[in-house]
Structure 1
């Protein structure tokens, strides 16, 4: 019986009672919130803005597409929502500095950071161009880290902050043919955990959200169009609306992690942690064919 992952988990659970509740911090959220969101122009980002706009929060909108950002900014302003569109490539450190400066100059504060920008990367590792590897890491992980580093001092000044990182179930178990993508998403999970321990005493709470395959575009739509088949039930599918609702919950409740294809994967991950080899066999048996097909379509 393999219990290497089980015993440490039991130990840390037993020690949890000695750790202060980060939600016990006395800071109260401002109203309205000033929200900086990357990848705002489409998909999860756009729908999240549309949802949160109902509460009349203020937005700093970041994405590469100037035209789409301008459209979203105009849409929000038509609803009486203050917003600032800042075309930004999150893989560019100088662009991130300009983004934060523009947001603070306009609104004077940043209360919520949503690191949503990301790109997919599915292929055999030895077939991936170096440029694609670097771009995926810089966009999905390095950009989020550098942007958070810039925003934290702003949040510290006000004694309040929410940092929400959009990861993936690929970060919970690295998918075949998704080594680089999975590595970036796993990095976001660890990054969030570290931030939570480090920044909670300052009233800055971090949450990581792990959706299943997004059913609103990208590789999911390509596979369905090419094969007529949806993702395996074990991987699940997650709509942009579901992720947006999870982001809204994270702002209110600030849980450490939200996994969005529950109950499909959570019991599998628990089983894998207790029985690593058997768990790996179950995951591969149900996902490998699909992931191989995804990689072939993306060539």
Structure 2
């Protein structure tokens, strides 16, 4: 739907796209991509400050934009957001469920609240938004729903268990939703990314031994051979979504992991068990830190060099504010 479509009255109008979690990281890049394709935009996020900075970024592109603070884990808030979006633009054509959080650490350092928080944001959140948007899409008789899940929703890697539980749930919702909406003119695309260089490791929460957990996760989310450039990922996601493709898996590692899990679940589980042995063990006094705080505790010049690409992504994609700008590592 890169071109304007006919609405239910037979009139042509510019399509409208909604991106949840659209103020930074991948969400901001998805919003940019949609704007570059001529769509009017609604973006939502929990942080008004992040939304304000994203608004400046997107308006520089000449985008017709509405920003709405919203926590999609609240069903009433999601319903109100959809109603405001439709009231403002008169229509809704593309829904991108992207909002998410991530907690990294061993199960022994996680709490039941961590699971509730992850499930509310990344499983129930897309459900809330989709159910609120569906009546409008059904009335038009067409539309696209793009659910950004994760390879963590296909294979449950250790040390991200709350995240994986939530992503498994939204993968199931997305696949079942596509089947239920077959023939209605509304398509559903399940996006299964691997690691992307979005700078999101600075916004993640690290539990147990935060500095060591941050070390492995940030490196994986930064190195080019392991992660994909986020702008390339955003282009592929929007292209697949507006083409109505059933599923898109990003990065060769994610494709390989998904195939392994499907074809050889036993060996895959044993391999993940070996990986778990290599990951940091929880200390006697587990702690919790943000990515920024964990990085400061790590104090590693080599790690700063290894995460150069991730640091640049964080600065480009609204993951850090002016006062939080990350200095370049010496010699890097």
Choose which of 122, 125, 132 in structure 2 pairs with 1:150.
Answer: 132
**Pairwise CA distance, 1:228:** 10
1:274 alignment counterpart: 263
Determine if the alignment matches structure 1 residue 251 to structure 2 residue 241.
yes
Is 1:288 equivalent to 2:276 in the alignment?
yes
What is the match of residue 250 of structure 2? 260
Cα distance in 2 for partners of 1:111, 1:143 equals 19
Query: 2:80 is matched with which residue: 98, 113, 120?
Result: 98
Q: How far is the alpha carbon of 1:173 from its aligned partner?
A: 0.6
- Residue of structure 1 equivalent to 2:179: 197
Query: Equivalent residue for 2:43?
Result: 61
Q: 1:289 to 1:57 in 2, by over 3 A?
A: farther
**2:156 paired with 1:174:** yes
Question: In the aligned structure 1, how far is the partner of 2:259 from the partner of 2:175?
Answer: 18
Tell me, yes or no, if structure 1 residue 184 matches structure 2 residue 161.
no
Residues in 2 aligned to 1:228 and 1:90: alpha-carbon distance in whole angstroms: 26
CA distance, structure 1, for counterparts of residue 217 and residue 136 of structure 2: 48
Taking structure 2 as the reference length, what is the TM-score of the superposition?
A: 0.72
Please give the residue correspondences for 1:154-165 in structure 2 after superposition, counting only pairs within 5 Å.
154-165=136-147
Question: Which residue of 106, 109, 123 corresponds with 1:127?
Answer: 109
Question: In angstroms, what is the RMSD of aligned CA positions?
Answer: 3.0
What is the CA distance between 1:102 and its match in structure 2?
Answer: 0.6
Describe the shift of the 1:75–1:122 C-alpha distance in structure 2 as closer, same or farther (beyond 3 A). Answer: closer
Cα drift, residue 73 of structure 1:
2.4
- Are the counterparts in 1 of residues 44 and 51 from structure 2 also a CA contact under 8 Å? yes
> CA–CA distance in 2 between the matches of 1:294 and 1:35?
43
The CA deviation at 1:290 is: 6.1
- Aligned equivalents of 1:261 and 1:297: distance in 2? 32
**Aligned in 2, Cα 1:151/1:279: closer, same or farther, shift over 3 Å?**
same
TM score, norm. by length of structure 1: 0.79
**Partners of 2:117 and 2:123 in 1: how far apart?**
10
Distance 1:183 1:161, change over 3 A: same
Q: Count how many residue pairs are aligned between Structure 1 and Structure 2.
A: 270
Q: 2: distance between equivalents of 1:105 and 1:203?
A: 22
The aligned counterpart of 1:45 is 27
1:237 maps to what in 2?
Answer: 227
Taking the aligned partners of 2:219 and 2:281, their CA distance within structure 1 comes to 12
Structure 1 gap ranges (5+): 1-26
Shift of 1:101: 1.0
Aligned to 2:316: none
Determine the structure 1 residue equivalent to 2:314: none
